[in-house]
Amino acid sequence: MCSSVSFFLVLLFCVLTCRLEAVLITGTFDEKKAEELQMMTPSEYDVLLMDFPLATMKMIAKEVFGFIYNSKSVELEKFPIEGVILKKPFERVIIPITLMHKKRKIQTTCVVDTSSPWTFVSEYTLADMGIDSVSGGFDLIVHGALVTVHRSVNHFHDLNICGQSFFSEHKAELVINYRTRKATVKETTKLTQEELEEL
């Protein structure tokens, strides 16, 4: 019995791995292949953030991080990025980031969602950057790195989301400390091999 269960689990792992490899061609998301395999696309992704309004995000930018939400920025991107874990009822991890398109650079905040493969930018933030409504993925400079982002949709349409693509492009380490209620994003590209092995 145990060996047949083990065999089934190994087989299931192989099938799922093959499906994932078929979708991720050279590290990019192939939306057509995802549709064939009935995988979720960025436009279908959803997170129930109805309890977290844009007004709260604007207040956090000002009161916690000391800047006006989506305000013009001339500062260089800094690492580590120091974020926070909000208190109840929200309990969300929020980090400040910069976004740049052409010569327009703004500072804003985003919800960290490590379960999202994608990074999303809200219509509100896109408008503040002078970007017309877009569909599909497009490239933005997100905190100093080129990241393919998508327009925020569904229940989080007015919020920015930093997903796996953000952390992957930065080769970043995310540390969440629930005792201090701090979140830190560190760039690992500047770490020594010894420091990387300690992670």
Higher confidence at residue 35 or residue 52? Answer: 52
Pair 79, 26 in one domain: no
Which residue has better confidence, 148 or 192?
A: 148
The model's pTM = 0.74
| Start-end of H helices in 140-192 | 164-170
Distance CA 125, CA 109 (A): 10
Q: Residue 192 belongs to a domain with what CATH number? A: 2.40.70
- Contacts of 16 by beta carbon, 8 Å cutoff, 6+ apart: none
How many structural domains comprise the chain?
2
Cα-trace Rg, the chain: 19
Identity at 34, one-letter amino acid code: A
Whether residues 15 and 102 fall in one domain: no
Domain shared by 12 and 59, yes or no:
no
193 and 113 fall within a common domain: yes
Are 86 and 28 members of one domain?
A: no
Q: What is the pLDDT of residues 145-164, one digit of tens each?
A: 999 999 988 778 889 999 99
User: Does residue 149 share a domain with residue 88?
Assistant: yes
- How do beta strands 138-142 and 93-101 pair? antiparallel
CB 43 within 8 A of CB 153: yes
**Phi, psi of 65, rounded to the nearest 5 degrees:** -100, -10
For the segment 29-44, what is each residue's pLDDT rounded down to a tens digit?
A: 555 655 555 566 656 5
133 and 85 co-located in one domain: yes
Same domain (yes/no): 95, 162: yes
**Is residue 14 in some structural domain?**
yes
- For the chain, give the mean pLDDT: 80
Q: Identify whether the C-beta of residue 178 lies closer than 8 Å to the C-beta of residue 85.
A: yes
Residues 17 and 64 in one domain: no
Q: What is the domain range of residue 20?
A: 2-36
Give yes or no for residue 19 having a pLDDT over 50. Answer: no
Confidence check: pLDDT of 62 > 70: yes
Residues 6+ apart with CB under 8 A from 89: 51
Q: Is residue 45 part of a domain?
A: no
pLDDT range class, residue 8, cuts 50, 70, 90: very low
* One domain for residues 159 and 109: yes
Segment 121-128 shows an average pLDDT of: 94
- Residue 54 DSSP one-character state: H
Going 89 to 92 to 97 to 102, the CA torsion angle's sign is negative
Q: 167 with 185: CB under 8 angstroms? A: yes
